[in-house]
Structure formats: C-alpha cells, structure tokens
Amino acid sequence: MSDPTVHWRGDGTPTSPRFGDIYRGAGGLAQARHVFLRGCGLLPEGDAPAAWADAARWAVLETGFGLGLNFLATWRAWRQDPARPAHLFYSAVEAFPPEPSDLVRSAASFPELAPLAAELAAQWHGLLPGVHRLRFDSERVQLTLAIGDAQPMLAELGGTHDAIYLDGFSPARNPAMWSLHTLQAVARLARRGARAASWCVAGEVRDRLVTCGFEVERAPGLPPKRHTLRARFAPRWQPRRRAGDVPAPTVAQPGRCAVVGGGLAGASVAWSLARRGWQVTVLDRAPEPAAGASGLPAGVVAPHVSPDDRPVSRLTRAGARATLARARGLLQGGIDFAATGVLERHAPGERRLPESWLEATASDAARAESFGADSPVTVARAQAAGVPLDAGHRALWHARAGWVRPAALVRALLRAPGIDWRGGAVVALIGPAEAEWRVRDEAGAVLAEADLVVIAAGFGSLALLDGPLPLHALRGQVAHGPMPGGAADAALPPFPVNGHGSLIAHLPGEGGPAWVTGATFERANPRPDLTAPDHAANRQRLAELLPDAAAALDRQWADGRAQAWAGVRATLPDRLPAVGAWQVFEQNRPLARTDIASTAIEPGVSGALLPPHLCTGLGARGLTLAVLCGEVLAATLHGEPLPVARSLAARLRASRFA
C-alpha cells in the first residue's frame, strides 16, 4: 500500500508528508476568498460587479489543485453571482491527487462547500496521468484536471485563461512549482490583461513573474499573512507561439452554423455550438435523425486499453467519461442508457494491459475499481454472470462504462435550444458567397446560409470534399432480438460483455426486454445491405465469447426472431477522427484553395470567412468519441481550455490530411 497523499493532524489540519507542508489552515476558505477570488476580482466590491460579470465564459487556471478548496470557493461564488458568466472553465494541475474522501473531509469544515465537495468526489475517479475533464451544473462548470508535474502538464493545457491562481506548497518545499520555466508555462496560458493572485510574495517569485510579462504588486493580506500578491499579465512583447502549434481560426462571437449530417457526430457538434450561443441548422438527407450508422439499436461505451496506453486509449477514456456524463444529463437512466460497467474478455495470449497496471491492481484500489485486471471483483462478477474465465483468458472490468441507445442520444442532443433540424435536405454543394457560406441542394436551391459549415456526414462527407481526406467506408452488421424469457434470461449477463464481438442484454423496450450482439467489420463497403454470412458470423462470435448465452439464444436464429441491422461508418488510416478546420491557415488566410465543392476562395473573401470544419472518421468508436469530438471542435473554435491534452487534440486535427 502506497503512503497516503494527505495526513490529517489531530486538530484537523491536512498536511502533505511528501512536502512537509500544510494544504490549508483553519481559515483556509477565508484565505481562498481574500487571496484568490478577491485578488482576481471575482467577488463583487460594493457597487462594482465581479470581473466576470455578464461574460459568455470565464476561465481560471490554478497551478496546484490540492484538496480543491479554491475550486469549490470559485464554483460557489459563480453560483451565487446573478451576473455570473454563462460558462465557467477551471483548469488545474496536480501531481499527487488525493483520495475522494480527503476532498470531502477537507470541505466538511466549511458547510457551504460540503455539497459541492460531494459532487466533486463523485466524479473523482480514473485520474491517471494526463488531462481529464469533469462536468458540473449541466456542463456549465467544467473542471480540467492535469495530473502530473506542473511544467509538462501546463504545456498540455489549451486555451486562454482570464484569472490565474498561483498556489502550491511553499517555494522552499516545492521549488519546481515556482520556477521560471513553470511561470513561463503559466504565462503562455494567460490572455493579455488576465489577473493573477497568490499568497506567495517572495522576491524571487515576483521577479520571475515580471520576467514573464506580469505587472506585480503586493496587497494587504489576511492575518496571519501580512501581504498577498496581485498581478496582471501585460507583456510588452507579442507572446511567441508554442512549438508545434498549428494556427487555428477562432471566433470572438457565435453566429450561424450549418451542420451537414444528423448522426452522432453532427448532433454532438450542434449541441456543443448551440450551448455556446450559435444558431445551428442541421441538414440531413434522411427524414429523421440517426438514420445511418447512429441508428444502431444499442452500443457499448467503454475505453480502449493498450499496453502502451496509446492515443486512442487516452481519447476513449476521455470520450467514455464525456458520453456518459452527457447521457446522464439528457437521457432516461435504465431506458436509453445505463452505466452498468462493461466486462472485456480477452482472447488467449492477448496482451492489452501495461504490466504496471497489472502489478498495481493488487494494492491500488482506485485502479482496481477502474480497470480491474484479473481482480477478484472481476472474477466474481464474471463467474456470477456465466462469463467463462480460465488461465488463458484475461478479463478487464470497466467500472465507468455502460451502454447507450445512439438514436435516443442524437434526438436528445438535437432538442437543445438554438438547433433547427431539417430532414430530407440533400446537400450537394457548399460554396462561399461574400461573407458567408451557402449550402445548396442538387438543383442549386439554397438550403442554408451560415458563417460556419461543419461537415459531419460520416462516409458521406467524402462526396462534399475535393481534397486529400483518405476517408474509407466501414460496414458493420449486428444481430438483435427479444430476451429468451424464463430461466434462460440468467444465461445473459446483466452488463455488456465485449471482446471478439459483444453482447448487450436485458435492454428495456416497448416490445419487452431485448439483446444486441455483434458487430462485423467489412472495409471498403459503402452499402448497409444485410447479409446472411454476417448474420452467421455474429452467431459464431457470440458462441466463442459467451457459450451459455449463445446456447440460450440459439433457437432465435432458427425461427427468425434474431434479426439483423447494418450501418456504414467512416474511418481514417490512423484510426482517429478528423476534427476542426479543413485548411491550414496562416494569419487567417488559406495557403491553398478551399477543398469544398472545388471552389476557390478569393483572397479578399477568405479573410472574412471561417474555413469549413469537419467532424468525421469516428469509425467503430463513434458512440464513445462523438460527444468529446464536438467539445474539442467548439473549444478550439472559441479558444477555450481543451477537454483533452493538447498533444491529443493535435492528433485529431482535420488539417493533418490537408
């Protein structure tokens, strides 16, 4: 068992054995309000409103999250302020995250924060090294946690921040937190004019902040502190772009957007933009939403796991969290989705877990709960559900996973205020016209006029692009039918099982409980035709994955109750989606002609136009990644903090193929 991150003294003071310093004193909340909130102008002063009053969004950056006191105090101040910004983004770095119980215990001293701490603790899971997004208050408050050492993790954060909390253990105890390189990383995340605050007024820290472009002053502190530090980011130079950055177009204000595609990708983009004030028109050739691959009867939402924890693994972890959080806010639990957990059964000899995780599960309860490789919990769950495990089969329990009905999620997303759904709209041409885009049908009639166009039509996106996007069709077929009933129902696990194939059983429905199994993968086939060989293949896969379940359902294949469904997904060579601007821009001017509808944008027009954006190529992981991709697109467009690490967001750029 590793040493605890937090040690509690007899008087209730939380301390760090690692750094030999305290997290906070008895007056911690008063200090948080005076030093950080008041220092950054986030509390009303007399008749003067807070600095964030009536803003569309406000972003706070904290260099040491600790026990979350500053976050909880800021969240509560946001809730109490009638002129609060519509969205609060809070980014924080923490190298050694505490246990959820420590968050709750710390806030217990401050009753007004205790309910918020309970909400925070409920989402405090799966915090492996990297960037994680936690969502509160119907996603209006978004906490981005960068788990790891301060300097490298600050480099993984994106967006610009309006307020900066310089917090952490003292420079004498934790000098790396206050080094020049760390403060330079902070400055790269600050907007010009951003205010910063700290309890630390050491001369070397003030000097380093001045070197980084801050104007610094000392202000009266709250006893026993004599002084507090306040600063404003006002460099006399133009901050340099970070190495590896590709300039992306951003907007100051939302406008009108046309989204082409009414499936998961298009609906997710539409929801994320509408929440930021855009008026969104969603166009689809089908009469109803989710008519394509998003019409799958039900799908598994679970992360991909790999020995080297490759980008797709980290993205799907973030995607599963985002999808299930969105589902909780929009769908009926137990009807349209359920966070049941998912058991992943591996084939003999298949190595999916890093050895460090396998070693950690015996002593690390948090990881055992999140990943559960060969843990007693996994074995017990598997055996109770009739899932065969033996020395040749490893199993992985995804505690934070489940199933979702994609079509239900699409419909719920499209019901958001600001979204106009238009079915039966066959888009044939997208072209510029003065300061806007015009979307036309085959007869040339205008379907929509917009400031921004997002193409999210799956494999159908390719027909609208005249460029080098290597999009490929990926046809998949599943089988589905009614639960067998009676004692046979017990042969079907109460949670999804995946591996070489998958099974979701006990799905509620108007016609009674049902099951879904599959899916096949047929590359380069753009037609969703149903085939008998694929139907037989799904039957065989189920027999290999779950023999007892297959036996219980065997009669349904013979009498026709086991039906088939097929859809076509879009995939790219690197198995990652294409998200964002479909041009490489320099100073908001295209380096080449637009790749939309074979129409060149004249230089005089291009500066006034946002480039077309893409959200496509989600492949077989659309249900897990669509919500996340919509947020990445919207955050990039608005210069907000990113919901994933910068290095991961960069791998999604559509412009990587331009």
Instruction: At 289, give phi and psi (nearest 5°).
Output: -65, 160
In a domain, 389, yes or no: yes
Residues 517 and 638 in one domain: no
Residue 538 has φ and ψ, to the nearest 5°, of -65, -35
Mark whether 210 and 358 lie in a shared domain: no
pLDDT tens digits for range 355-378: 554 444 433 433 444 333 334 335
Number of domains in the chain: 4
What pLDDT does 225 receive?
Answer: 86
Q: Is the peptide bond before 513 cis (omega within 30 degrees of 0)?
A: no
- Per DSSP, the three-state class of 562 is coil
The strand pair at 141-147 and 87-94 is best described as parallel
Other C-beta atoms lying within 10 Å of the C-beta of residue 46:
5
3-class SS of residue 589: strand
Could you give the maximum distance between any two Cα atoms of the chain, in Å? 82
Structural domain harbouring 112: 7-233
Give 447-457 pLDDT, tens digit per residue.
999 999 999 99
Per-residue pLDDT at 588: 33
Shared-domain flag, residues 26 and 145:
yes
Tokens at 399, concatenated: 């505690």
pLDDT at residue 391, rounded to an integer: 55
Dist. CA 295–CA 584, nearest whole Å: 34
Q: What are the contacts of 236-241 at 24+ separation with CB within 8 A? A: 237/213, 239/187, 239/188, 239/213
Residues 488/545, Cβ–Cβ less than 8 Å: no
Q: Kindly state whether residues 15 and 88 are assigned to the same domain.
A: yes
Whether 226 maps to a domain, the answer reads yes
Residues 433 and 538 in one domain: no
CA distance 400 to 123: 10
Q: Which residues of the chain have pLDDT under 70?
A: 1-2, 241-247, 348-386, 388-394, 466, 584-608
The span from the CA of 89 to the CA of 58, in Å, is 6
Residue 585 burial (CB count, 10 A)? 17
Task: Identify the CA nearest to 589 among candidates 567, 572, 575, 608.
Answer: 608
Tens of pLDDT, residues 75-90: 999 999 999 999 999 9
Kindly state whether residue 334 falls inside one of the protein's structural domains: no
Work out the end-to-end distance of the chain between its first and last CA atoms, rounded to an integer number of angstroms. Answer: 50
Give the CATH number for residue 583.
3.50.50.60
- Statement to judge: residues 382 and 492 lie in one domain: no
49 and 164 in a common domain: yes
CA gyration radius, the chain: 26
Q: Confirm whether 242 is domain-assigned.
A: no
Return the closest-CA partner of residue 572 out of 477, 653, 453.
653
Task: Examine the domain organization and report whether 207 and 226 are in the same domain.
Answer: yes
- Reduce the DSSP state of residue 642 to 3 states and report it: coil
Residue 217: Cβ within 10 Å count: 13
Helices (DSSP H) in 156-282: which residue ranges?
A: 180-187, 203-211, 264-274
- C-alpha atoms less than 13 angstroms from C-alpha of 544 in its C-beta half-sphere: 17
Encode burial over 513-535: b for 16+ CB neighbours within 10 A, e otherwise: ebbbbbbbebeebeebeeeeebb
Closest by CA position to 137, among listed 54, 218, 80 = 80
182 and 75, same structural domain?
A: yes
Looking up residue 217, the CATH number of its domain turns out to be 3.40.50.150
Which of 522, 547, 571 delimits the end of a domain?
571
The residues near 139 (Cβ < 8 Å, ≥ 6 apart) are 275, 325, 326, 329
Other C-beta atoms closer than 10 Å to the C-beta of 302 total: 27
Whether 494 is in a domain gets the answer: yes
Q: Parallel, antiparallel, or unpaired for β 436-440 and 337-338? A: unpaired
Q: Is 529 a member of any domain?
A: yes
Asked if residue 204 lies in contact with residue 223, where contact means CB atoms within 8 angstroms, the answer is no
Closest to 359 measured CA to CA, from 374, 349, 346: 374
What size, in residues, is the chain? 658
Angle separating helix axes 311-330 and 622-638, nearest 10 degrees: 90
Could you tell me if 467 and 486 lie in one domain?
no
How many other CB atoms sit within 10 Å of the CB of residue 600?
A: 13
Q: Assess whether 108 and 194 both reside in one domain.
A: yes
CATH number at 516 reads: 3.30.9.10
Task: Quickly list H helices, 123-193.
Answer: 150-155, 180-187
Angle (CA) 164 323 292, round 5°: 135
| Final residue in a domain of this structure, among 544, 571, 598 | 571
For residue 58, being part of any structural domain is answered with yes
Is the pTM of the predicted complex or chain greater than 0.85? Answer: yes
d(CA 296, CA 518): 11
> Do 593 and 452 belong to one domain?
yes
Last residue of a domain, one of 515, 544, 571: 571
Q: Residue 351 class from Cβ within 10 Å (0-12 exposed, 13-18 middle, 19+ buried)?
A: exposed
Residue 133 lies in a domain: yes
